[in-house]
Amino acid sequence: MKRIFILILWCTVITTVYAQQEPIEQNENINLYAFIGEKISVNEFEQRPSIEWIIGLNGDSAKIENIPFDQGFIAKYKVIANIFNKLETDTIEFKAFDHYGRPKFVKNKYVLLYLSFSEEDSTYYHQKYQFDEVKRHKGQWTGKDRKSLKELFEIKKNGVFKNRGIF
């Protein structure tokens, strides 16, 4: 009897883990990844001003100093479940920028995050200010107002991400 219980428990765990790794929706032509993440670390990094030289129409040159107005952070999260497109890793590191200080998503242990990948520097970047608080409710992940993960994603997809030209 004990062996049967352990076998059933093991099968349940394996099924649950596998089910969490398959995204609700997939479209590799869209540079967006949505996933439930568990916070591992979030550390601020120093951004240095960049210098750019421009040449005016009259031939004069001018030095422009670009000063960053956002604080930069390197975040590391455990991938709990893929929601849109599949991150092929169990942990993900990405950069996040916030004009108001620490990003609000760092307050939560679990959060639905939205990232895009830059081929230019092979780095994932957080879609600025976009996240959803999530929690477990009766064994399922839901938003703080008990919206399903699909509903949360559809709201972002048809709202802010459509306006940003991602969809």
Domain assignment of residue 136, yes or no: yes
Q: Within 13 Å, how many C-alpha atoms sit on residue 125's CB side?
A: 13
Question: 1 in a domain, yes or no?
Answer: no
What's the pLDDT score for residue 2? Answer: 56
pLDDT value for 8: 46
CA-based nearest residue to 34, from 105, 130, 99: 130
* Residue-averaged pLDDT of the chain: 87
Q: Give domain status of residue 131, yes or no.
A: yes
Q: Is residue 69 part of a domain?
A: yes
For 153, list phi and psi in degrees, rounded to 5.
-65, -45
Q: List Cβ neighbours of 57 (8 Å cut-off, separation of 6 or more).
A: none
Give tens-digit pLDDT for 102-156: 999 999 999 999 999 999 999 999 999 999 999 999 999 999 889 999 999 999 9
**Domain presence at residue 150:** yes
Residue % of the chain over a pLDDT of 90 = 68
**Is 34 a domain residue?**
yes
User: Count of domains in the chain?
Assistant: 1
Which residues on neighbouring strands pair with residue 39, listed in sequence order? Answer: 77
In angstroms, the Cα distances linking 146 to 134, 135, 137, 143, 166 are 9, 9, 8, 5, 26
* Domain region containing 92: 25-163
pLDDT one-digit tens code per residue, 83-103: 999 999 999 999 999 999 999
Rg from Cα positions in the chain? 20
pLDDT tens per residue across span 28-71:
999 999 999 999 999 999 888 778 888 877 777 887 877 778 89
Q: Find residue 115's DSSP bridge partners.
A: 33, 126
